[in-house]
A and B are shown apart, each in its own frame.
Chain A
Amino acid sequence: MAKRQLENGHPVDKRVKKVEFSNIDTFEPEKVSDSVDVSVPSSEESEDEDEESEGEDENPASKKNEVFPHGKPSKKQRKQLSAQEIQVARETAELFKSNIFKLQIDELIKEVKLKESHVAKIEKVLHRLHDLISQVPATNEPLTLEQAESKFASSKKKVAIPWPEPKPTKANYKFAYLPPQDVSLVGSFGLKTGINSNTNNYNMNSIDIALTMPSELFQPKDYLNYRAFYKRSFYLAWLVEHLIPLSKRNHLPVKISYHFLNGDVLCPVLKLESIHTDNEEDLHFHKTKFTINLVVGFPFGIFDAKKVLPDKNCIRIDTTEKGELPATPIYNSSLLSSTSYDYYLKFLYTSKKSAEAFKDACILGRLWLMQRGLSSSFNDGGFGHFEFAILMSALLQGGGVNGNKILLHGFSSYQLFKGTIKYLATQDLNSGYLSFSSLIGESSNSKYSSEGFNTPTIFDKNIKLNVLWKMTPSSYQYLRQKAIETLVLLNDVVKDRFDPILLSKSNINQLKYDLVASLTFPEEIAQSFGAIEKIMFITLERWLRHKIYLILKTGLGDRVHGINIKVEKETTAFGINKRKPSASTNNKFIIGLTLNPEECEKLVTKGPNQTDTEEGSKFRSFWGNRASLRRFKDGTIQHCVVWQQSNKKGEPIVLSIMKYVLDAKLLEGISEHLYSESSLFNGLLPTPLSGGNNGYNLLRNSLDGFSRVLSNLDGVPLQIKSLSPGASPALRYTSLLQPVPFATASPDFWNEIILQFESSTKWPDEINSLEKTKSAMLLKFCELLEDTVYKAFITKDDFIPFNFNVCCLNILTPEGFGFKMRILTERDEILYLRAIENATPNEKAIVQDTYLRFNQKYIGSIKHTRTITSLSHHFHYYSSTVRIFKHWLDSHLLLKHMNDELIELIALKPFVDPAPYSIPHSTETGFLSILNFLSTWNWKEDPVILDLVKSQTTIDELTPEEELKQANKLTDRLTIPAYRIIESNFQKIRKVDPNGIKTQLFIGSKDDPSGILWSNELTLPIASRLTALARLSITLIKQQQQSQSEIDESTISLIFTPALKDYDFTIKVKTNSLTSSSGILPANKFKNLIGTESSFPDDICGSYDLVQEFYKELSKMFGNIIIFSTKKFTGLSSDGASNVIAGLFVPATNTKKKFRVGLGLNVKPIDKEECIINKEAIFNQINLLGGDLVQSIKHRK
């Protein structure tokens, strides 16, 4: 006892922050100092590195200056090799990007490879099918339109000819079927880039067979007025008419239906699905999950390319207006692409042969697009794997502004993929365009030209086709956005980003977009779909999409970054006895907006200056009488439109504008059909009693005022060094309730602040005396403050276990806010750490917890508040997102189990690391993103390591210097060594606790490399429940999306309703109403009818929530056998006074026990040895303790 060893040093505890940082420090200098001389790494590795650095270089010409050539670098080059460059290269190699990324790609490609047995089966099927097709008889003689129609009408099979709209009425040409001049396998199966897929998504599993109609069937003028398409429709109908009996006879049982290829109504194809029969001779292929498309194409080059250029008109109609008919780009492109199925297959095949990794890169591209919901279909953006492959081929031929090559034939699959993504991200194919030649063997380069057509364009000079003809500016914008985000991920050298790039799906609308609205359009809208519109857009939906896009783009302007409009569920397949799909199915749009957080909620839409008459009249004509002239503070007079906050609670301005412009510009009253749930989510936030949204600022100002007074006090024995906000959600904009003056019942009323003095050696070297010395200081302050407007009193504080001498100074400001001041000295941490050193092994865990508690309150909270404050300024919707998330947690009785800081870090994840989605710019998206993250976070295996920096690197910043900076720690991003240290901390924890019994959530950051500062006190049941509840909510959202129903009030209330049945017992409790004393405006009441407080009550404790104290006492007395849960915000309940305390017995307590006094349980005897928990007695005591607060106790049977 007497010779206990004490020392001032830090113990070697992995969780101790200081130690971690000193590790980092020693790590760095060593790295920089020895990196000037470069040796060539082992051959295997060097290849990888080589590839890696090439991939990052846009210009292959400069490749020779790379860091790792195998030859000797010249003197000059050697000079250029700065220590930093080498460091980047080295760290990259050290990290997975080259190695592990490559290995992961290999595994992935193995995984998605088609099964060989399936391929063999399909090949057998295809051969048989080929035989069948060759057996289809030709028409005896060409038929007139009437003959053709009557032929099918009289047939028993009731096959309909899938005429495109408008149905032909008279034709001076004839229809016929002759055996196809060519039958070939096209598409990804033909290219061997097909992938195995579990989804039932049609596009993923189809094998395309192109049947080329013989050229004898066409006349030169057939490109006009749907004639070729009509001929094809007949051809298809004839084919199906004969295939049905043939397939039966030849033991290939299939179900045949019509289907619009890529949603193109001009291009119906036959879709063949296997039918299961019991006949052994029959050939089935349903197990392969493949369907076969019989695509009928036109002969290559049959139409004069000049006539079907995108700017030509090929549908002649009579119009009353004079002048030229508009161009028909969709019609023309559809026609042209129908001539080129086989042709493009050959082109792609050549690319595949010329670049070894082309095939794998195609598969990567395909997966990437699939995970982001993009495909060749009109409705899915019009950019699928075919377009990706063509782009990649074009980039292998050039693609730069000077025709320089973007991709090289020797690139690895990763580099091809990354190069293509980078091209998509950095080159604008909407305002500019890429031209290439698909002629095999031609040496002409593809070239990027910045003067474009304002429509997404990759132009094939050879056959004059815009490969991106199915894309719209809006879908291109989405594609580019995704490419930019992916490029940032690909450039990330710190974290392994394989998962969000290729493995995770991002298909929940509510997470993809900041605001999702659905629009059901009424039938009368078809009246405005005239002949001109028809020839330009072919279908009503496409025209509407275009029109709505233009209206919203003009109306919303800067407020949105992207507008995406999709048909909710497009039907493209229909029976062979129908001419087209039934009409009413495609009448609902999903409009997804990506918002600009800076602009979207502004009340004024600013237009041009008054002096700009031309623009001014445009502005006025768009906005009509809403437009007005305003003079602004800087003296300019501008046209503008002023919006009011909507009466509907929580409706975003953007939604109000949408409603207005759609009504005014599309169809009067159509806004009634526009639905968005975002107002419902916004409405979940409690309205503050004081009105307005500036409660947080008032509180901040109040703190500033107090801080000034404090530093000017005379007679303080030590100089004040700093006064920092500590554990106070309200001071960092994250408290569920906004700060409202004099709202003393709010659980966040007291805002903790930490006072630090200049350093002194006089602090006692023993913990209790130290705390008492601090108390003496507080007493001094208390005395000095007596003469000011501030009221102050001292309370004891039991936050740190076993430290029974902690006091806080409570300050009430004249503005109506409360601060709780603690004193931190430089001796505190030393003493706690010393205690850990001196503790016996038994005590150690508890003393460590004690230290963590201290660290939370006094050190961690300061850093945390600083970080969160600055981030909530940067991410506009972070604050409201956290608040709603806290609301959700409290509804589920989880909030009390978690630190505010832990919750805030969890909520930060979707903001600082949103991949594969984007940074959320609305409360709804933010909230659902958090739930989505929680539902997928496997915390047993994965740590969360947050890079708490302000902005995600955007594409402009991705210069090499920037990357160097990053590696060189000039920015405050996480560095590789720091990341590694946090990661290894996690591994250390999991090594001793692989199943997460003690530590569940691990969230590391530069503020807390230990990763468990805030999650240390969480327990396994709570962490599991958190995950389970988040999963349930996300499943619900997904189901709503699949069943195409809206997220309405009942959905939301389901998400926010606690499952009390899961607990062993629930206690209903009731106290005084706390609604208005918590600063909440009660529902359905008006502000002016509720008196706002203007002074503090005499007994400040009188307004506190007694339920919380009840809960605290219960946890103290029975916490070792029962997990109690309750809501922290009693004031948010419907009457402001009711709450519930739910209890769950720790499972181990329910069994019989050998009697001993150390049980810590209330037991009743069973026999001479054993006893069992005495629940009746426990309930009785709980009842006694609760007294008049308890309304009822309910047990689970």
Chain B
Amino acid sequence: MSISEIKDFLVLPVDLPGAKAPHYIYFKKHSGKSSTDGQNNSLFLFNLPINTTTSTIKKYLSSVAIGATLESFAPSLLTNYPEDFWIDLTKLTSDLELSTNLNSNIDQDYNTGNTIGAKLPKHCGILTFIDKSSLQLAFTSLKKLSSNQTSSKWPIDEANFGGSSYFLSKYQGQILDNEWLSGIVSQSLIDFDAAEQKSINDLQQSTELVDEDGFTLVVGSHRKTKASILGKQKLASTVEVERAQKNLKKKEKDDFYRFQLRQRKKDEMNDLLKKFKLDQERVRLMTEKKRFRPY
């Protein structure tokens, strides 16, 4: 049972408080696309224990790899979420360039300050160190633990996690402070107004554009974003078409010629026949399922 590597990942056994069996964390150096400066100082971890926060990681590193200074820790947002994908409803409902800053959420549990977390699968996380040497230091120490398969202690802040007081604080956390809330609300409404203003300005510009047929976009006074205007136009056009078709139909006489009457009768008969066939089929299916046993 001493497997220290699995599919390029190193296996790190850790002991959680009170555990009889070890927990396994899998890690490797992260090779993300975001390595713009050629340097990538990150570690990718999978299967982190519950309630892993930046302070947990810091504590752990200080016990196994002193000197490895952590810059940031980005856990997967999905870890504590029952869904499999992360959805950004803002993007799906608007094309305003609102900052995708998740920090503005009223529900603070899902604010991470970055967008990486939304893309990571469950129980994963990325550790970013301040420099290459820190990364190297941490990686070597962890690798050593891994290859020896020595369990190290995983620190969980038991005082603030689990049990009745923890759940009580969860309940209490649902109640929001009014002042804090109004701060957040007014800030994001300012942001929204700004984004909307920008969009309107962009739109204003496009009204001045004359397309190849010589038309310009007309902007009404109510809705102010391009998307909503286009949407409305689309809707309006379909409604118009339907109405026009209806009008046309009304004027048509469908019982003027004899062939029309005959055709209708024929259609009706065929229709009924078809239905009869369908009914027969249904009953046949029911018979197959032994539906007709009155016992």
Contact = CB atoms under 8 A, between A and B. Distances in A.
Contact of B106 (A505, A804, A835): A804
B280 A103 contact: yes
A1086 interface: no
Nearest to A4: B95
Contact of B264 (A39, A44, A806, A1101): A39
B145 interface: no
Interface in B247-275: 255, 261, 264-265, 268-269, 272-273, 275
Nearest to B124: A1157
Interface string A1133-1171: 000000000000000000000011111101111111101
Given A41-B268, A1189-B163, A768 B24 contact: no
Contacts of B182: 776, 779
A7 B276 contact: no
B167 A1113 contact: yes
A1071 B291 CA distance: 51
Contact of B269 (A42, A503, A779, A1156): A42
A867 interface: no
A502 to B, nearest CB: 6
A7 B171 contact: no
Contact of A9 (B110, B235, B279): B235
A772 B5 contact: no
Contacts of B26: 1155, 1157
Interface in A603-639: none
Interface string A753-768: 0000000010011111
B218 interface: no
B21 A1156 contact: no
A108 B294 contact: yes
Nearest to A810: B175
B20 A794 contact: no
Contacts of A768: 89-90, 98, 104-105, 188
A1171 B282 CA distance: 49
B40 to A, nearest CB: 17
A1152 to B, nearest CB: 12
Contact of B189 (A776, A801, A1120, A1157): A776
Given A44-B276, A1189-B163, A503 B294 contact: yes
B295 A834 contact: no
B18 A42 contact: no
B234 interface: yes
Given A1110-B167, A1160-B123, A842 B85 contact: yes
Interface residues of B, number: 108
Interface in A850-883: 850
Interface in A246-295: none
Nearest to A1157: B46
A61 interface: no
Contacts of B51: 1185
Interface residues of A, number: 114
A795 B176 CA distance: 5
A235 B161 CA distance: 92
A903 to B, nearest CB: 22
Interface string B92-135: 11111010000011110010000000000111100000000000
B163 A1163 contact: no
Given A100-B279, A1174-B21, A1187 B164 contact: yes
Contact of A767 (B20, B93, B189): B93
B175 A793 contact: yes
Contacts of B282: 100
A772 B188 contact: yes
Nearest to A774: B185
A764 B93 CA distance: 11
Contact of A1189 (B92, B167, B269, B279): B167
A497 to B, nearest CB: 14
A197 B295 contact: yes
A41 B266 CA distance: 9
Contacts of B90: 766-768
Contacts of A714: none
A131 interface: no
B46 to A, nearest CB: 4
Interface stretch (B58-66, B75-83, B204-212): B75-83
B56 to A, nearest CB: 12
A324 interface: no
Contact of A7 (B78, B170, B178, B227): B227
Contact of A1180 (B20, B171, B172): B20
Contact of B164 (A103, A769, A1188): A1188
Contact of B47 (A8, A839, A1163): A1163
B279 A1176 contact: no
Contacts of A1120: 82, 84, 122
Given A765-B225, A765-B228, A772-B185, A1102 B167 contact: no
Interface stretch (A76-84, A91-99, A977-985, A1089-1097): A91-99
A1117 B181 contact: no
Given A795-B175, A1181-B16, A1176 B6 contact: no
A775 B182 CA distance: 8
B244 interface: no
Contacts of A93: 272
A847 interface: yes
Nearest to A112: B294
A1177 B22 contact: yes
A831 interface: yes
Given A768-B89, A805-B107, A1174 B23 contact: yes
A628 B280 CA distance: 67
B259 to A, nearest CB: 14
B178 A779 contact: yes
B192 interface: yes
Contacts of A1071: 164
A7 B231 contact: yes
A167 B64 CA distance: 104
Nearest to A195: B294
B155 interface: no
A382 to B, nearest CB: 22
A735 B287 CA distance: 43
Q: Which of A1101, A1120, A1157, A1189 has the most CB of B within 10 A?
A: A1157
Given A834-B92, A1101-B175, A1180-B23, A846 B163 contact: no
Given A804-B110, A1106-B168, A1120-B82, A6 B6 contact: no
Nearest to B87: A802
Given A505-B294, A801-B81, A1184-B162, 19 more contacts: A2-B95, A7-B230, A505-B295, A766-B90, A767-B90, A767-B93, A772-B188, A776-B185, A782-B178, A793-B176, A796-B107, A796-B174, A810-B175, A1071-B164, A1102-B168, A1168-B6, A1171-B6, A1177-B19, A1184-B50
15 contacts: A6-B231, A765-B93, A766-B192, A767-B89, A775-B185, A794-B181, A805-B107, A806-B106, A838-B93, A1104-B171, A1156-B7, A1157-B124, A1159-B121, A1160-B84, A1171-B6
Q: Which 4 A-B pairs have the closest CB atoms?
A: A1187-B163, A7-B231, A1176-B21, A6-B227
